[in-house]
C-alpha cells in the first residue's frame, strides 16, 4: 500500500436496500483527514448499515435496483484498475470540462461522455474551495457545490476518463468529503462499460467527522470549521454562482444532449427546482457574470 497520510483498511460495502421511485475542494493546511477505520469490524458494519439507511432517508430516495459498491479503502480502488494500470473517473460537475479535468489530472486519457443511470445531481453541500478562492457568498447562502445521489428513474450525462494508479491517493485526499462509489456507466448508445468507474456521491456529516476526521474537532476545523461551516451536507443552500456558470458552460460544450441533461437533471437542495428553472427565475443573471481575471481559466467552462 502506498505511504500516504492516510491509514486505510478494507471494508467494501454493497448497497442493498429496497428501491422506491424518486421523482424528480482544496487540501487544508497542516492536518490531514483520513479514510482510517479503527473501530471493531462488527461495530463498523452496524454503523455502515445505519449510515446507508440514514442516507436513504436523508435524500428521500433509496438506492438503485442494481448493486453499487462503496470504495472504502485504497485497495478497493485498486480492484477497478485496468490492464494498463489506470482507473476510470466519472465527472458530473466541473469535470464535465475537459480543460478543468486536465488541470487536475494532466495525464488523463480518453476523455468522453457517457450515461449514468439511477443518479441525480444536487447542489447540497458547502465547499471550502469556494471560500478559499473568494467566490462563496455566505450572506446569500450561495456556497454550494455539486454531488450526486441515487434516484431511481433519473439518468445523467457524465464525463468519463482514465487516470494513472499513482494519482489515486491525491484524488482520495482532494475529494475526501464524498462517498466513493464504483458505478458502471454506459455509452451514449446504452452499452455498459467494460470497467467500473469511480463516482463521488453524497456523504454525511456524521460519517465525515467520525471516519474521515477520526472524531477530531481540530481536523474538522482545518477542513471546514475555519470557514464557519458547522454542517457540510444541507438542503437550504444555493449554488456558488461562478461554479454553476462554469458547470453549465462545460455541459454546453459537450453538446445539446449533455447541456439539456444538466439543466433538467440537476436540482437545488429542495430536489424539486431544476437548474433550468433556477436560471430563469431567482438565478437569472448568473450566466452573464464573468469570473475574476485570475479565475477565468479555471471557471471558464
SS (H, E, C) 183-249: ECCECCCCCECCCCEEEEECCCHHHHHHHHCCCCHHHHHHHCHHHCCCCCECCCCEECHHHHHHHHH
What the chain holds in terms of domains, given with CATH numbers, is 13-295 (3.10.490.10)
pLDDT in the model for residue 22: 64
> Half-sphere exposure of 193 toward its Cβ, with a 13 Å CA cutoff?
27
pLDDT in the model for residue 66: 57
Tens place of pLDDT per residue across the chain (301 aa): 333 333 333 333 444 333 334 654 333 333 345 554 434 344 344 444 333 333 333 333 344 435 689 999 899 999 999 999 999 999 999 999 999 999 999 999 999 999 999 999 999 999 999 999 999 999 999 999 999 999 999 999 999 999 999 999 999 999 999 999 999 999 999 999 999 999 999 999 999 999 999 999 999 999 999 999 999 999 999 999 999 999 999 999 999 999 999 999 999 999 999 999 999 999 999 999 998 888 887 888 7
**Reduced to 3 states, what is the DSSP secondary structure of residue 301?**
coil
**73 backbone dihedrals φ, ψ, rounded to 5°:** -125, 150
Identify any residues that bridge with 90 across adjacent strands, giving them in sequence order: 160
Q: What share of the chain is helix, strand, coil (3-state, %, to 5)?
A: 35, 25, 45
Provide CB contacts within 8 A for 114, sequence distance 6+: 90, 157, 158, 159, 160, 185, 186, 187, 188, 193
Q: Residue 120 region, left (φ>0) first, then alpha (ψ -120 to 50), else beta? A: beta
Q: Residue 205's CB: how many other CB atoms inside 10 A? A: 17
Q: Which three cell numbers stand for residue 194?
A: 467494460
**115 backbone dihedrals φ, ψ, rounded to 5°:** -110, 145
In sign, the C-alpha dihedral spanning 36, 33, 75, 59 is: positive
Burial class (CB in 10 A: 0-12, 13-18, 19+), 284: exposed
Amino acid at each position: 500500500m502506498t505511504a500516504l497520510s492516510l491509514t486505510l483498511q478494507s471494508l467494501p460495502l454493497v448497497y442493498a436496500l429496497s428501491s422506491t421511485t424518486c421523482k424528480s475542494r482544496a487540501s487544508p493546511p497542516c492536518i490531514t483527514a483520513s479514510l482510517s477505520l479503527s473501530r471493531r469490524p462488527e461495530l463498523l458494519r452496524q454503523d455502515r448499515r445505519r449510515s446507508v439507511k440514514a442516507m436513504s432517508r436523508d435524500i428521500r430516495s433509496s438506492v438503485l435496483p442494481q448493486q453499487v459498491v462503496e470504495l472504502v479503502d485504497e485497495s478497493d480502488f485498486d480492484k477497478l484498475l485496468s490492464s494498463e494500470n489506470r482507473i476510470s473517473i466519472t465527472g458530473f460537475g466541473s469535470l464535465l470540462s475537459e480543460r478543468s479535468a486536465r488541470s487536475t489530472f494532466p495525464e488523463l486519457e480518453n476523455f468522453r461522455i457517457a450515461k449514468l443511470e439511477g443518479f441525480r445531481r444536487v447542489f447540497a453541500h458547502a465547499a471550502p474551495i469556494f471560500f478559499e478562492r473568494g467566490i462563496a457568498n455566505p450572506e446569500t447562502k450561495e456556497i454550494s457545490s455539486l454531488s450526486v445521489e441515487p434516484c431511481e428513474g433519473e439518468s445523467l450525462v457524465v464525463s468519463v476518463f482514465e487516470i494513472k494508479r499513482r494519482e489515486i491517493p491525491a484524488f482520495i485526499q482532494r475529494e475526501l468529503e464524498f462517498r466513493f462509489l464504483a458505478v458502471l456507466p454506459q455509452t451514449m448508445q446504452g452499452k455498459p462499460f467494460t470497467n467500473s468507474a469511480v463516482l463521488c456521491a453524497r456523504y454525511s456529516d456524521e460519517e465525515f467527522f467520525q471516519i474521515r476526521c477520526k472524531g477530531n474537532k481540530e481536523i474538522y476545523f482545518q477542513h471546514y470549521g475555519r470557514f464557519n461551516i458547522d454542517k457540510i451536507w444541507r438542503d437550504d443552500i444555493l449554488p456558488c454562482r461562478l461554479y454553476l456558470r462554469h458547470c453549465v458552460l462545460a455541459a454546453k460544450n459537450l453538446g445539446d444532449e449533455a447541456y439539456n441533461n444538466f439543466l433538467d437533471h440537476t436540482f437545488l437542495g429542495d430536489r424539486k427546482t431544476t437548474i433550468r428553472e433556477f436560471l430563469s427565475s431567482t438565478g437569472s443573471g448568473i450566466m452573464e457574470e464573468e469570473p475574476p481575471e485570475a479565475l477565468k481559466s479555471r471557471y471558464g467552462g
